[in-house]
């Protein structure tokens, strides 16, 4: 069975919104930019190289589809542009980017996707989708790049009403700039 691997940039106060800059109107957008390093870059290259497909929510898909088709390069652009991309949305009528497939229902369609032939599936960002994946116990690995900054509010992965969840730490690494790369498996 294929694994669903969620990868997130996250602040110390749990915010995942606007890590790169202008993808949302967050007042502190771009909070991760000054923490870039060769270690974090290589981690992301290796992470993408370890999967066969992407699973994206509608907003992340729209941001990616507006940017990546115009990019080239073996580390990110070429794999992202060519690999299968599964977009979960109830409102999109079509996904026009190369090799995109629409899924309508997290509980049934994503669960069925896990049972198809192929390698692991990576979820970039897509906080709303990730919340649904967690709710339906469809996340096999949770990879967090924790940045040493608190932005005082914004979109979070874990809502106050989420039931108790336990995770096993599988791997951890710290960079010189204070970014923690943490890999967890949900328990149970």
Q: Is the dihedral of CA 26, 23, 75, 46 positive or negative?
A: positive
| Domain carrying residue 130 | 4-186
3-class state of residue 134 by DSSP: helix
pTM for this model (two decimals): 0.94
Please report, in tens digits, the pLDDT of each residue of the chain (188 residues total). Answer: 999 999 999 999 999 988 888 778 888 889 999 999 999 999 999 999 999 999 999 999 999 999 999 999 999 999 999 999 999 999 999 888 999 999 999 999 999 999 999 999 999 999 999 999 998 999 999 999 999 999 998 888 887 766 788 999 999 999 999 999 999 999 97
How many domains would you assign to the chain? 1
Pick from 74, 95, 70: which is nearest to 85 by CA?
Answer: 95
Angle at 3 between CA 172 and CA 67, to 5 degrees: 80
Distance of CA 79 to the CA centre of its chain: 16
CATH number of the domain within which 122 lies: 3.40.430.10
Cα–Cα dist 125/174, whole Å: 21
Distance from first CA to last CA of the chain, Å, rounded? 17
């Amino acid at each position: 069975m294929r694994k669903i691997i969620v990868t997130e940039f996250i602040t110390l106060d749990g915010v995942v919104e606007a890590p790169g800059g202008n993808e949302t109107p967050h007042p502190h957008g771009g909070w991760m930019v000054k923490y870039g390093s060769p270690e974090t870059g290589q981690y992301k290259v290796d992470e993408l190289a370890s999967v066969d497909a992407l699973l994206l929510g509608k907003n992340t898909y729209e941001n990616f589809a507006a940017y990546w088709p115009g990019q080239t390069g073996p580390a990110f652009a070429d794999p992202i542009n060519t690999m299968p991309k599964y977009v979960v949305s109830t409102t999109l009528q079509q996904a026009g980017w190369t090799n995109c497939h629409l899924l309508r229902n997290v509980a049934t369609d994503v669960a069925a996707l896990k049972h198809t032939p192929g390698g692991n599936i990576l979820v970039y960002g897509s906080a709303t989708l990730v919340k649904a994946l967690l709710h339906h116990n469809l996340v096999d690995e949770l990879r967090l790049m924790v940045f040493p900054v608190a932005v005082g509010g914004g979109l979070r992965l874990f809502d106050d009403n989420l039931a108790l969840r336990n995770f096993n730490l599988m791997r951890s690494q710290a960079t010189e700039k204070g970014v923690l790369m943490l890999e967890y498996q949900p328990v149970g």
